[in-house]
Every structure is written in structure tokens, then in C-alpha cells.
């Protein structure tokens, strides 16, 4: 186990820079999730950490060793690939023991370690099968087994669940988290799915267009997003954004589209008339007499909660209710955001106010 | 529904045998297969059967032969030239195939890397395959000429040898010369096919092996070779069959000489049957190739057949 330091790392392919100076400290034993939309550079960063891509500038260190010029095989890391990259001509056992075999471990030692990893992952009955004979979830577990057997300093996961169906993905998510709690190996996990990030991470790093937008614990990111991008990316359904102006005349309010009045707990200093973006999560709406006028468009019950799409000041917003309201399309209701849970962002920069 | 069904039934009853035949799956299926079967019989089965039959007769050009059983084979068994041609064919096939495989694999691995001018190099590699065989054979004939050989000329100018090499006059020189020509011609097929095979191997397997700690050599030994084995089996089977039955190169460069040192079974068969007029004996020599070819096919079929990991499904 080891800490990992990523310091001001840049990456260019030819003249095209995809990572513009990324710094991420990772503590020993931490589960860090790199999350962002496709093309944000998260997989490239992971591959640089693995040694599969060169580092254009900056440093990456594992433990207290700078690994910029260290061969992948000498970095003592194990990686789980998106397509699993299992060796099709080897059995499950051989796949898992391959790295030990390359290091000339004795066959007793290999057997022992493969068996132990197989027990952890419930793969024992499958050791003599070939990858082709396995289901997606089983292959995924073999890929993890191959990583565990190595007992490396760092685990790297590159979107490991994206090839699985929805149900299996949820199950594997729990399994990976449980595995980390058991082994406590430093883990860097790349995904584009913010729910995976929220549920698994000790620390989330939100990336966008080659920079780190914000890092922090899942709840920090949810409660205090530093900018509009993070606010919109974390949380499902996504946060509603309404453009308008801050009004401070006695009571602070937010004047939304078409003059709709929205409550503010307190306005930033000297911000009367300032153009801003009002952010409110769907789950922070309530039905109240002093709420904003809204017309219901679509109602989507999921059982545990109900998603309601409505028009507020001509803009579409989504609200989520745990209580069972009887709504029909076309109904007029009054939606009130909880003023202590709303977010204000600068209209031009998207930064949190 | 009943109202509609009745007229249909009446229609079927009234339809002719011809119409009914064309509505039958079995009859239509058979009809569609007729052209394929006709082509197979005309161009494959008939010549093969004729070849078998001729081998059992003493047919000569211009005269109908009689059935003489295995007499042709008995006389061939005592014919030292025939046995020399068998030896030559095996030597030619084994040597050329091994070298073609080695060079082809090397080129394929090279072309699979990121090289400058990759597509140009790939085109150059394919060149020997594109040139008509007879044309390249004539070029080799010239290269191997006892007086005008460019190889001898270069070596003499370089001061490495003092006399022109007699490429095609000495039995072993001649054998090795035609083997070299065959290798030159056969390498592109092996290289390009193996390259296609290499490109189907997922790069992430190499990355995984890299992280697992494999050296270049270990990656080749544990990933490339096993993943490539099905393609190797196919390409080498084809290569062996094509080399074993080679005719054009030998016939153009040496015509089987000197003193039958480069006669392959195919060229000897042609010489006895067409040039010499003994169709029966020539056919018998051709037929004698069949056991070797069948053995080669069976070897690759059983020895290199699809391994267990390639077969899909659950056990």
C-alpha cells in the first residue's frame, strides 16, 4: 500500500493538450474516484499512472518514488481494464497466476495465492474454466482476482462496470467497495457514472476538459459544489438552474426568468441586481403556499419517489417528492425551494457565490 | 376467416404438379443446389476421377490405353528418378516453408509496430506476390545465370569470390536456388496473413501483460504466439500445400535439371505425361502426391485444430 501524488501533470498528444496541469494527492489506503464526462482526460490520467502513456510534464509518484520514467511492470500496480483484458487462452487460474509465474514464483506459492484470491471473490469453482465460458460479472471478478493476487501498492480501475447490465453493476459496485474495505489497498477508480463515484469513493475528483473542477468527499461535492459544472454533474436527477438577478431590498430574493420570485436565505454583499444562476436540487423543492407558480407537465412515479417535471417562469424544472402527491399534467401548484439548501453561481464564470 | 380459407384450399387442389413442386421446400432446395453440384462435378470430381483412372492405365498421347492395375506404381517404385523427385519435393517443401514462416512472422511483427513509412513498406512486402510467377521466375533465372548473374558479379566486385557461382549447374546449388526463389515469392502471403492475425489481438492484452510484468520476449511467448496459433495453422497449411504442388517456378527456372536435381513430383509428372507422352505414368506420379498432401492436411487439422479456449459456450 502506498500514497500517490499527482503534481501538475500535463499531457499532450502532438500539439493538442488534453490535461492542463492536474494535481491530485491520494492518501495511503484511500479510494479515489476520477469522474467526468467522456473526453475529460480521466482515463488518460489513469493510464499515465499505470505507465501506459508518457507524462508530458509534471510528476507522478507512488509512495516516495517518482515513477515518471519507471516501466509499468516495475511500478507495482495492478489494473482492471474496461474490457477486462483476460488472456483468452488461459484458464481463470492461469490468468490470475500469470504475473506470479512471470516472477518465477513456485507453483505452490502461485496455487496458494490464486486459491486465496478465488475464495475472496467466490471464483473457486471456476478456476479451470476459460474466459469465454464465463458471464460478464464472472469475467469482471476474474479481472479483479488477477489484480488481488499481485498484492500491489495501488489498484487502478478503468470504467470496470460499464460493460455490465444495470443490476449486475449495482451488485459489483458493492463488491468492489467491500473488497476495498477488506484489503485497504490504495485505489484509483475511473468512471463517468456519478452514482458509482458517490457510492464508492472516499474522495471524488471531478474532471472536465482536462482540469480538476473540484475534489472532496462525496457529500462535500453534493452539498457545496464549487461551480455550476460540478453542481450539474453530481446528483441525479441533475440540479435545476434558473437564470436571473439577485434582488436585495429589505429581503433578499432571486428574480428568476419572467420575474418569478425565488427565496434566498442571504444574498452575497453588494449583489443587488447582480446577474446569477440559481441552483436547486430536485429533492429540495416543497409544495408551499408561498412558493413559485408552476404548471405540471409530466409525472414519473418510481415507487420510492415521484419525479415531477414542471414549468416555473417558463423554464422546465424537475422536482422529486418522497411523499405521494396526487398530480396530473396541467395542474397548477406552488413549488418552493428550501432557501437554506439552494446554490448561487456567478452568471459569467459559473463559480459559486 | 373460414370464408377466406376455402378458396385457397380449392386453389391448391386445382394447381398442377409443376406449381406444387415449386412450392415445396425440398424440391426448391434441390433445384438451387444443382448449379453448384454441376460445377463441382465438372471441374473437380471428373478431373480427379479421370486422373485416378489414367494412373491405372497405360494411356499414351494419341492412343487409348488399357487397364493395367497398379503396374505404373510398381514400376515407379523401382524408378530412382521418381524417388529423387519425392526427396526433392519434401526437401523443397520443408525448407521453404520453415524459412517462409520465419521471415513472414518477422515481417508481420515488424509491420505491426509503429514504423515510419509503414504503408509503403507494406506495399513493398506485397510486391513479390503481385508479380506474375513466370515473370519473377524469369528474373530469377537471369539472377542465377552462370555468366550474367548479378549476385556473382557483385560478390566478385566486392572481392569475396574469384569465380562465378554455378547456381543452376550444380545439384545442391540448384536446389537451394529454387528454394530461395520460392521463399521470395511465398513470404508476402505468410507475412500479410499473419499481420492480419496480429491486428486482431487486443492491445489491452499486451498492456495487461505489461503490467503483469512480462518482458517483450515473454509477451511474444505467452500472448502473441498462442493468440496467433489458429492463423498460423491455416497459413502454414496453405503454404505447405502450395509449395508441395509447385510447378511454375521450377519449370521456368530449371525444368527439373541439372540431372533431375530439382525435379519436383509435379514437374516430373508433367514431363512424363505431356512432354514424354506417357499420360498413364504421369497421372500415376500425380496420384502419388495425394498421400503426402492428405498427410499434411491431417497433420495441421489434428495438430493445430481449434484449441479448447477458442470454443465458445459453457461446458
- Under the banding of pLDDT at 50, 70 and 90, the label for residue B39 is very high
Distance from C-alpha of B79 to C-alpha of B84, rounded to nearest angstrom = 9
Beta strand pairing call for A275-280 and A261-263: unpaired
Longest dimension (CA), chain A: 79
Does residue A302 carry a pLDDT above 50? yes
pLDDT of residue B314: 42
**Local structure of B80: helix, strand or coil:** helix
Mean pLDDT for chain B overall: 85
- Under the banding of pLDDT at 50, 70 and 90, the label for residue A213 is very high
B58's CB contacts (< 8 A; 6+ apart) are B65, B66, B68, B71, B72, B278, B280, B281
Instruction: Tally Cβ neighbours within 10 Å of residue B197.
Output: 20
Distance from C-alpha of B200 to C-alpha of B89, rounded to nearest angstrom = 34
pLDDT of residue B311: 55
Question: What is the pTM assigned to this prediction?
Answer: 0.78
Does residue B5 carry a pLDDT above 60? no
pLDDT of residue B152: 85
**Local structure of B170: helix, strand or coil:** coil
Strand-pair partners of A12: A17
Q: What is the per-residue pLDDT across B101-150, written as a single tens digit (0 to 9) for each?
A: 999 999 999 888 888 888 888 888 888 888 888 888 888 888 888 888 88
Beta strand pairing call for A57-62 and A65-66: antiparallel
Compare all CA atoms of chain B with the CA of A87 and give the residue at the minimum distance. Answer: B205
Q: How many residues does chain A have?
A: 353
Chain B residues whose C-beta is within 8 A of a chain A C-beta are 202, 204-205, 207-214, 218, 222-223, 226-227, 307-315
For residues B160 and A87, the model is more confident at: A87
Whether B212 and A99 have beta carbons less than 8 Å apart is answered as yes
Q: How many residues does chain B have?
A: 315
pLDDT of residue B126: 86
- Under the banding of pLDDT at 50, 70 and 90, the label for residue A252 is confident
Q: What ipTM score was computed for the predicted complex, to two decimals? A: 0.82
Q: What is the per-residue pLDDT across A170-208, written as a single tens digit (0 to 9) for each?
A: 988 998 999 899 989 999 999 999 999 999 999 999 999
Helices (H), B161-259: 171-199, 203-212, 216-219, 225-244, 248-253
Give, for A213, the enclosing helix (H) or strand (E): strand A211-216
How far CA B30 is from CA of A238, B24, B36, in Å, comes to 63, 10, 10
- Under the banding of pLDDT at 50, 70 and 90, the label for residue B16 is confident
A86 CA to chain B: closest CA distance, Å? 7
Mean pLDDT for chain A overall: 90
Contact A85 B205 (CB under 8 A): yes
Q: Which of A46, A132, A138, A156 would best serve as a mutation to test chain B binding (most B beta carbons within 10 A)?
A: A132
* Average of per-residue pLDDT across B253-261: 84
Contact B307 A89 (CB under 8 A): yes
Contact B212 A98 (CB under 8 A): yes
What percent of chain A has a predicted confidence (pLDDT) above 90?
61
Q: Which of B200, B205, B212 would best serve as a mutation to test chain A binding (most A beta carbons within 10 A)?
A: B212
Distance from C-alpha of B247 to C-alpha of A318, rounded to nearest angstrom = 79
Distance from C-alpha of B144 to C-alpha of B166, rounded to nearest angstrom = 8
Helices (H), A91-165: 92-102, 107-120, 136-150
Distance from C-alpha of B147 to C-alpha of A253, rounded to nearest angstrom = 104
- Under the banding of pLDDT at 50, 70 and 90, the label for residue B13 is low
Amino acid at each position: 500500500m502506498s500514497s500517490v501524488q499527482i503534481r501538475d501533470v500535463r499531457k499532450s498528444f502532438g500539439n493538442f493538450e488534453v490535461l492542463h496541469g492536474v494535481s491530485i494527492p491520494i492518501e495511503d489506503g484511500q479510494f479515489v474516484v476520477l469522474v467526468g464526462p467522456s473526453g475529460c482526460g480521466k482515463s488518460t490520467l489513469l493510464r499515465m499512472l499505470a505507465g501506459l502513456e508518457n507524462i508530458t510534464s509534471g510528476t507522478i509518484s507512488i509512495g516516495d518514488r517518482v515513477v515518471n520514467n519507471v516501466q509499468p511492470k516495475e511500478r507495482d500496480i495492478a489494473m482492471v481494464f474496461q474490457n477486462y483484458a483476460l488472456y483468452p487462452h488461459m484458464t481463470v487460474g492461469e490468468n490470475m497466476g500469470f504475473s506470479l509465474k512471470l516472477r518465477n514464483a513456485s507453483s505452490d506459492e502461485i496455487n496458494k495465492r490464486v486459491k486465496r484470491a478465488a475464495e475472496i471473490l467466490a471464483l473457486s469453482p471456476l478456476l479451470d474454466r476459460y474466459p469465454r465460458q464465463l458471464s460478464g460479472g464472472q469475467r469482471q471478478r476474474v479481472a479483479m482476482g488477477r489484480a488481488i493476487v499481485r498484492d500491489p501498492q495501488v489498484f487502478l480501475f478503468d470504467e470496470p462496470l460499464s460493460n455490465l447490465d444495470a443490476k449486475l453493476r449495482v451488485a459489483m459496485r458493492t463488491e468492489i467497495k467491500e473488497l476495498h474495505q477488506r484489503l485497504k489497498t490504495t485505489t484509483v477508480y475511473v468512471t463517468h457514472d456519478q452514482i458509482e463515484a458517490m457510492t464508492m469513493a472516499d474522495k471524488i475528483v471531478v474532471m472536465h476538459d482536462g482540469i480538476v473542477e473540484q475534489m472532496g468527499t462525496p457529500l462535500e461535492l453534493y452539498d457545496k459544489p464549487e461551480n455550476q459544472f460540478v453542481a450539474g454533474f453530481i446528483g441525479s436527477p441533475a440540479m435545476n438552474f434558473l437564470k436571473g438577478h439577485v434582488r436585495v431590498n429589505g429581503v433578499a430574493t432571486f428574480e428568476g426568468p419572467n420575474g418569478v420570485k425565488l427565496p434566498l436565505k442571504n444574498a452575497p454583499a453588494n449583489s443587488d441586481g447582480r446577474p446569477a444562476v440559481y441552483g436547486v436540487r430536485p429533492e429540495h423543492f416543497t409544495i408551499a403556499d408561498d412558493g413559485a407558480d408552476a404548471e405540471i407537465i409530466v409525472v414519473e412515479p418510481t415507487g420510492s419517489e415521484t419525479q415531477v417535471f414542471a414549468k416555473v417562469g417558463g423554464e422546465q424544472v424537475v422536482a422529486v417528492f418522497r411523499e405521494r402527491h396526487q398530480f396530473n399534467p396541467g395542474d397548477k401548484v406552488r413549488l418552493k425551494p428550501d432557501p437554506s439548501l439552494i446554490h448561487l453561481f456567478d452568471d459569467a464564470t459559473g463559480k459559486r457565490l | 376467416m373460414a370464408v377466406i380459407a376455402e378458396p385457397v384450399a380449392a386453389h391448391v387442389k386445382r394447381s398442377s404438379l409443376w406449381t406444387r413442386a415449386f412450392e415445396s421446400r425440398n424440391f426448391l432446395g434441390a433445384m438451387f443446389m444443382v448449379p453448384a453440384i454441376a460445377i463441382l462435378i465438372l471441374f473437380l470430381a471428373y478431373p480427379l476421377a479421370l486422373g485416378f483412372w489414367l494412373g491405372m492405365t497405360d494411356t499414351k498421347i494419341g492412343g487409348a490405353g488399357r487397364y493395367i492395375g497398379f503396374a505404373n506404381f510398381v514400376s515407379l517404385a523401382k524408378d530412382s528418378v521418381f524417388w529423387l523427385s519425392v526427396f526433392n519435393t519434401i526437401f523443397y517443401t520443408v525448407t521453404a516453408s520453415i524459412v517462409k514462416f520465419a521471415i513472414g512472422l518477422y515481417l508481420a511483427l515488424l509491420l505491426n509496430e509503429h514504423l515510419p513509412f509503414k504503408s509503403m513498406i507494406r506495399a513493398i512486402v506485397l510486391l513479390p506476390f503481385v508479380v506474375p510467377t513466370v515473370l519473377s521466375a524469369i528474373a530469377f533465372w537471369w539472377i542465377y545465370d552462370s555468366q550474367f548473374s548479378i549476385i556473382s558479379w557483385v560478390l566478385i566486385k566486392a572481392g569475396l569470390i574469384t569465380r562465378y557461382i554455378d547456381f543452376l549447374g550444380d545439384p545442391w546449388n540448384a536446389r537451394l536456388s529454387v528454394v530461395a526463389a520460392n521463399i521470395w515469392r511465398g513470404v508476402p502471403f505468410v507475412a500479410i496473413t499473419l499481420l492480419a492475425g496480429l491486428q486482431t489481438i487486443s492491445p489491452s492484452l499486451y498492456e495487461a501483460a505489461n503490467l503483469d510484468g512480462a518482458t517483450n520476449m515473454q509477451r511474444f511467448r505467452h500472448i502473441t504466439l498462442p493468440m496467433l496459433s489458429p492463423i498460423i495453422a491455416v497459413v502454414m497449411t496453405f503454404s505447405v500445400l502450395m509449395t508441395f504442388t509447385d510447378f511454375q517456378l521450377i519449370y521456368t527456372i530449371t525444368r527439373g535439371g541439372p540431372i533431375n536435381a530439382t525435379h519436383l513430383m509435379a514437374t516430373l509428372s508433367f514431363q512424363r505425361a505431356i512432354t514424354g507422352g506417357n499420360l498413364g505414368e504421369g497421372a500415376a506420379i500425380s496420384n502419388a502426391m495425394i498421400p503426402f498432401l492428405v498427410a499434411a492436411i491431417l497433420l495441421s487439422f489434428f495438430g493445430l485444430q481449434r484449441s479448447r479456449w477458442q470454443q465458445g459456450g459453457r461446458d
